[in-house]
Amino acid sequence: MQLTVRPTGTPVTATYWMSHAWLGTHVEPGVTLDVAGGRIAGVRTGIDAPPPGATALRGLTLPGLANTHSHAFHRALRSTVQVGSGTFWTWRELMYRAASRLTPDTYFDLARATYAEMALAGITSVGEFHYLHHAPGGTPYDNPNAMGEALIAAADAAGIRITLLDTAYLAAGFGERPNRHQLRFSDTTADAWAERASLLKGGDHALIGAAIHSVRAVPAGQLATVVRWAEERGAPLHVHLSEQTAENDACLTAHGRTPTRLLADHGVLGPRTTGIHNTHLTAEDIELLGNSGTGTCMCPTTERDLADGIGPAAALQRAGSPLSLGSDSHAVIDLFEEARAMELNERLRTHVRGHWTAAALLRAASADGHAALGRPDAGTLEPGAPADLTTVALDSVRTAGPTPRLAAEAAVFAASAADVRHTVVAGRHVVRDGRHTLVEDVPSALAEAIAALHG
């Protein structure tokens, strides 16, 4: 038996016994994990049966998953945007329509249900790329952060962690004023954005970060204000980058350089920064991102849903850009699908199999995602890490058959969110045996919240 001893004098508040656990490099049978103060206090291997008082987690237990990029209100668009054809830009008009109907109260309801769906999918932390700041027409609420605070409260009510990436969104395009839909998003200037964002408060379950919506939405001369705000706080900084070729073309026309080069020239790139999508990049762009240590968040289910294209994820990682994953528009909420889609997309493009191992894809879905959200200590089953876990069934119709030593491969390449049996956050059992412990009926909560927007 291998024993990792918990810190002396730290009271254990929960013990979990895992029939199989992913320990970063391999599947280990018979592992117990002690929790103290919401963190992992001790890990023991070689335990054949649950010790007295331990909660059994049967299946493959992984570090909790990190959903690095989310727009919670997009959950209301699922299926309704699948009628007819079009492009990202026609889809955007439907998105604006949904955004126009939200209030702080209805946003809380929708986000709570959406984050509960994430918990059911094994997600323990979400990066919420938040730009829906004001009332329709752009009038600030009496509480200027009413919408952001609704998201923070919704994550707490759903039992997951959140990094609220408060987003500067100031323009409709290069040199263009916000349109009538975008007035809700705009603080008019980066200084005004920074003043409002500075009022946000985090907590045990919530971190506050920053985001630049895109190079088309924040004038180049104001990028430095957002960067400085994040630097002063040691906060993560995210940015939509080169999702669409139209954005690249417009940036070249306006500035004579690619969006990546523009960000580099204004000090945006760096290890605390994550580019979202990074789809249409030049070789120089890839080098700039990799050499600066800027992360890449791939959102394959959204990128394929919106016909955006396949980003050069493998080339970016080789260049030095850490990879994470997000469900973005929530066409589905399933980090296993995001992980395997990144690999399978690369196979389709290159006609070669095996660009990432299951271990590498699990790291993108957990540790590297948590790091991108400002929690570099999360995403492992080791003493000192947050006690955030998820357990995947190994006996469903999708996962049954492979030997336990291939459980990681089964999880990444065969499992779905429906196979998640348990989710634990800070040592608390949020999903138990496939049922959410805080939101009694998640499907009904989703249906009611979405119906309220269409009523």
Query: What DSSP line would sit under 247-290, residue for residue?
Result: HHHHHHHHHSS-HHHHHHHTT--STTEEEEE--S--HHHHHHHH
Q: Contact at 8 Å (CB) between 275 and 313?
A: no
Q: Are 197 and 190 in contact (CB under 8 A)?
A: no
Token pair of 68, please? 């690095």
Structure token pair of residue 342: 């990144």
The answer to whether 389 and 422 are in contact (CB under 8 A) is yes
| Rounded (10°) angle between helices 190-197 and 223-233 | 20
Beta bridge partners of 173: 176
The tokens 């290159």 sit on which residue? 350
Is residue 26 among the annotated active site residues? no
Q: Is 304 left (phi over 0), alpha (psi -120 to 50) or beta?
A: alpha
Token representation of residue 90: 């026609």
Q: How many CB atoms lie within 10 A of CB 273?
A: 25
For 182, which DSSP code?
A: G
Please give the full DSSP string across 124-160, using - where no structure is assigned. EEEEEEE---S-GGGPPPSSTTHHHHHHHHHHHHHT-
**In the structure encoding, which two tokens stand for residue 455, read together?**
């009523």
Core vs surface per residue 228-247: b (16+ CB within 10 A) or e: ebbeebebbbbbbbbbbeeb
Active site residue 213: no
Name the phi and psi angles at 191, rounded to 5: -65, -40
Q: Which of 69, 238, 266, 277 is catalytic?
A: 277
Q: At 244, list the tokens.
A: 């669409």
**Cα–Cα distance measured from residue 209 to residue 219, given in angstroms and rounded to the nearest whole number:** 20
Q: Which of 34, 328, 334, 419 is catalytic?
A: 328
The answer to whether 189 touches 217, Cβ cutoff 8 Å, is: no
Q: Please state, in angstroms and rounded to a whole number, the distance separating the CA atoms of residues 225 and 237.
A: 12
Can you tell me the distance from the alpha carbon of 74 to that of 92, in angstroms, rounded to the nearest whole number?
10
Distance CA 421, CA 206 (A): 25
CA–CA gap between residue 114 and residue 330 (Å, rounded):
9
| Paired residues of 36 in beta bridges | 39
Which residues are bridge partners to 18 per DSSP? 31, 57
Q: Which residues are catalytic?
A: 277, 328
